[in-house]
Structure 1
Amino acid sequence: MDQYHFLFKYIIVGDTSVGKSCILLNYTEKKFNEDHETTIGVEFGSQLLKMNDRTIKIQIWDTAGQESFRSITRSYYKGSIGVVLVFDLTKKDTYYNVMKWHNEILDCTHEFVEISLVGNKLDLESERQVSSKEALEYAQSNKMNYLETSAKTGQNVDKVFEDIAQRILVKIDNKTIDYTQEVYGIKLGPFFQNPKQITNTPSTLKSEPEKKDKTCC
């Protein structure tokens, strides 16, 4: 059995064929599959990450981008602490759809969720249709991190998942999130059989924010 302190649940979303599954495959297996078929429904992967003297298990759900599977995708937003929102740097229309995906994330997740906007296919720089400046400005104006990746070469792929984990740990350490509530997408691992072993016990946490009314999930 894997030994870890925390389990973080992530979801990967975005239009079809932007490279979501390839990003997941590169992160979990360091592979790239040129002939990867379009995801039908949901795929899954996990990875262990050591950070700040703690071991994190990242559980990643890769969702289909087609409209016909959106109801399935929405069900996986619930209980996620990290969201990777992917578009294709070589296809402007997938960038235009980022706003639609971002609004859906905000509607279907809790306020502690960490979102990273990812422009994929950086290896096809000569075919780029979306500038770094444009995407970065959008991300910053919407309180998201922005990274450009290549699922083919692996450039920045690890960093996407690690940056989200780092920001989640900051929220745990500064006591702004109650990590004992699984609805937030965090679970205690085998290293923490007894929650009292953790310094930030629930009694020291800030008051829980007002719950939002979720209609789509």
Structure 2
Amino acid sequence: MISDSSEEDDYDFLFKIVLVGDSGVGKSNLLSRFCRNEFDLESRSTIGVEFATKTITIDKKIIKAQIWDTAGQERYRAITSAYYRGAVGALLVYDITKYLSFENCQTWLDELKENSSQDIKIMSIGNKLDLKHLRAVPIEKSKTFSEENSISFIETSALDSTNVDEAFKQVLNEIYMSTVSNEDQVKTEKVKGSTTVVVENTDNKKDKKSRGKFAKWC
């Protein structure tokens, strides 16, 4: 079960998610629609990196998503690559009306995999579904790309909210299920004498807040 929560200061898990893709595909508006239910028709290209947070509940656990919006301009890519570190989820965004933005997804995916954990959960997002009458990217090609790269796929519209919540929450759910599965494995290994260590959730609010503060600068 997944639901929204307004308790930003108390959480069980903190998950960092990055938005990647060409400039102008709607990454910033996807972020603002999910986190603040806002859409800016006159939004400008992101400079460097920005982030916002959103708290939801999955299986009675409070999940705080820290979502980073990375600039799509080529000149910022060397800067933003450092911000992939620590990400456990990623939304690979393209504009369904601009075929080049879809073609460039492979480059973004390669960069993402090069700079992040191999366990990162990735979803391909065809944004601007409200402009489907101007579609330049056939949905079949998008599905094939996602299947070939073993990532999930969905089409969204930040303007009218179509599938925006569903996209973020699906990725967060995949991350949560993987995290819980890994923790169970670690507990089993500890019993067997393994020295494997992972960051686990904690009930200490002070530790949670400190961990969140650190994540903003990592």
Distance apart, 1:175 and its partner CA: 2.1
2:108 alignment partner, SS class = helix
Counterpart position of 1:64: 71
Distance apart, 1:188 and its partner CA: 3.5
TM-score by length of 2: 0.82
In structure 1, list runs of 5 or more residues that go unmatched. 195-217
2:55 maps to amino acid: L
Counterpart position of 1:212: none
Regions of 4+ moved over 3 Å: 176-182, 187-194
Counterpart position of 1:126: 133
For 1:106 and 1:18, how far apart are their aligned partners in 2?
20
Output aligned runs, 1:18-37, within 5 Å.
Answer: 18-37=25-44
Gap change, CA 1:169 and 1:38, over 3 Å in 2: same
1:57 alignment partner, SS class = strand
Output aligned runs, 1:48-127, within 5 Å.
Answer: 48-127=55-134
Distance apart, 1:163 and its partner CA: 0.7
1:171 maps to amino acid: S
1:7 maps to amino acid: L
For 1:99 and 1:139, how far apart are their aligned partners in 2?
10
Q: Is the 8 A contact 1:114 1:167 kept in 2?
A: yes
For 2:175 and 2:51, how far apart are their aligned partners in 1?
21
TM-score by length of 1: 0.82
- Aligned alpha-carbon RMSD (Å): 2.2
Output aligned runs, 1:159-178, within 5 Å.
Answer: 159-175=166-182
Q: Is the 8 A contact 1:32 1:152 kept in 2?
A: yes
In structure 2, list runs of 5 or more residues that go unmatched. 1-7, 187-195, 208-218
Q: Is the 8 A contact 1:3 1:191 kept in 2?
A: no
For 2:135 and 2:128, how far apart are their aligned partners in 1?
9
For 1:144 and 1:154, how far apart are their aligned partners in 2?
22
Counterpart position of 1:214: none
User: Which of the two has greater helix per residue?
Assistant: 2
Q: Is the 8 A contact 2:87 2:120 kept in 1?
A: yes
What whole-Å deviation, never above 9, does each CA across 1:169-198 have from its counterpart, x for those lacking one? 22122227879746xxxx74656779xxxx
For 2:48 and 2:96, how far apart are their aligned partners in 1?
24
